[in-house]
Amino acid sequence: MDAPSFVDECTIHVRGGNGGNGAVSFRREAHVPRGGPDGGDGGDGGDVILAADRNTTSLLDLHRAPHRRGRDGIHGSGMGKTGASGDDAVLRVPLGTIVRDLDTGTVLADLVRDGQRYTAARGGRGGRGNAAFANRYRRVPRFAEHGEKVRERALRLELKLIADVGLVGFPSAGKSSLVGRLSAATPRVEAWPFTTLTPHLGVMRAGDTADGTPIDVVLADVPGLIEGAAEGKGLGTRFLRHIERCLLLLHVLDAMPFEPDRDPVHDLAALRGELGRHDPDLLERPQLVVINKVDLPDGRAMAELVGDQLGTAGEEVLEVSAVTGEGLDRLRYRLGELVAAERARLGDVRVAEGAGEEEVVLHLGPRGPDFVVGRTDSGAYEVSGERVERWVQMLPLEEPGAVRYLQGRLRRAGVEKALVARGARVGDDVVIGDAVFDFDPDLDDLPADERAEILAAEAEDDPDEARSAAATDASDGANADVALDDDLEDGRDDVEAADPEVGG
């Protein structure tokens, strides 16, 4: 039954909600002769967020329903009403979920602690209402922004369990029996091999450490390995990824295996061979060996014989019985000691690799140039860049006022200069996103006063421009807060989620 309920890899397609449209509206009141623009802003679309949750054990839900979206923002309306923001879609994932870009394989986030969140897809920004475009020079703005439309993103999720001790052993060696005895977990135990089909965790209270505080140790019970697992025999090494992040490995050896060609010494060598073929680094972890089933007739004699042999070879070996409980106190104590030592050495992060980077949940690459100018096959100039394309998408280009506003923005962003530098001349086609423009670079042919007025109006549109440029520079490195610096770039105040009654 548990095979289909455990999924440790899946691809998801996520998309934030689109932003709501800004409204075009003018105040009309009986006693106010000339009402001003009062179109409110659209609400922002909801994000898609991955949240690490200790109570979620597999990626099954996402595997079954891999397409997830944030809710769209509500459109703004008259009387300055801002539309409500769309709700975020919060997707719970197990601790140890690694998020990659599906196409490039780049690791975007590694969610290892309960409550860690990664914004997998950002919602679109709400468009500004026409009231936002009013200034001394543009008293009657007849346009508002559309809400930002956002694209879908494909992500690959991979779960690598976060545990302290990984139990490895042949099928039926007694791994699950041990986890059942040592922790509150109740894994299935049967007399036949491959009873455990998916990894499980159990939490063990491991006695007192040196300073007297008890420590909790997380045990990972993984499906049994057999010789040839690395080549796919048995369940193969498909589940070995779940011990990759364990602090130490516990080899569980059967004192009295049924197969005549097996014995504990041979089994240990075979297990190490399979581990090494999966990932040689695994063999560098601290390792402890238990010989289980010493309660069986001849079990103890065998354990003593083998124990001496392995001990001479430098192994640390404990003899136990998961059935009678013999040796388990000693095992519990020793595991506690070893785990405490490893945590002290690695800084108690419960993650063997990448320690120290774990708080950084959002890994953004360094910010590239805001836009690039290229040529299309037909010879047109093409300006591409997220911000620039967003401006074009969000403005109603059938409105002359909006086009003029856009031109100002492009000019100030340096797009015109870059086009000229690339060789564009008046009348050439310029493609930005889905729109095609005639290149009309500067205002030089306009009468001086008209030109001054346009420039003054533009300056009022973006009073925070200087601040915005500074913020953009400062956020150059990883982990930039995109939302913040984009808001500054618009020179608008943060539009908070509106009163839920409005426009809902």
Using CB under 6 A, list all residues that contact ligand GTP: 169, 171-177, 189-191, 193-196, 223-224, 292-293, 295-296, 321-323
493 contact choice in Mg ion, ligand GTP, none (CB below 5 to 8 Å, kind-dependent): none
For ligand GTP, the closer of residues 59 and 222 by Cβ is: 222
Helix axes 299-312, 264-278, angle to 10 degrees: 50
Q: Report how far apart the first and last C-alpha atoms of the chain are (Å, whole number).
A: 44
32 contact choice in ligand GTP, Mg ion, none (CB below 5 to 8 Å, kind-dependent): none
8 Å CB contact between 415 and 383: yes
169 contact choice in ligand GTP, Mg ion, none (CB below 5 to 8 Å, kind-dependent): ligand GTP
- Stretch of residues binding Mg ion (CB under 5 A), selected from 7-15, 173-181, 325-333, 425-433: 173-181
Question: Quick one: which of 473, 384, 387, 463 has its CA closest to 430?
Answer: 384
> Residues with Cβ < 8 Å from 333, sequence gap 6 or more?
206, 207
For Mg ion, the closer of residues 4 and 214 by Cβ is: 4
For ligand GTP, the closer of residues 150 and 189 by Cβ is: 189
Question: Quick one: which of 241, 245, 275, 250 has its CA closest to 352?
Answer: 245
Give the nearest distance from C-beta 185 to ligand GTP in angstroms: 12
Instruction: Say if strands 67-69 and 97-101 run parallel, antiparallel, or are unpaired.
Output: unpaired
For ligand GTP, the closer of residues 134 and 185 by Cβ is: 185
Contacting residue, 57, 85, 119, 196, with Mg ion by CB under 5 A: 196
Q: SS3 for 333?
A: helix
For Mg ion, the closer of residues 118 and 239 by Cβ is: 239
Give the nearest distance from C-beta 224 to ligand GTP in angstroms: 3
Q: CA dist 471 to 199, 410, 484, 486, Å?
A: 46, 19, 9, 9
For Mg ion, the closer of residues 246 and 480 by Cβ is: 246
Give the nearest distance from C-beta 283 to ligand GTP in angstroms: 21
Four-residue CA torsion sign, 496, 502, 503, 504? positive
Contacting residue, 21, 85, 116, 176, with Mg ion by CB under 5 A: 176
172 lies in the site for Mg ion, by CB under 5 A? no
> Residues with Cβ < 8 Å from 370, sequence gap 6 or more?
385, 387, 388, 413
Instruction: Say if strands 107-111 and 372-375 run parallel, antiparallel, or are unpaired.
Output: unpaired
Give the nearest distance from C-beta 188 to ligand GTP in angstroms: 7
For ligand GTP, the closer of residues 69 and 181 by Cβ is: 181
Task: List residues near Mg ion by CB under 5 A.
Answer: 176, 195-196
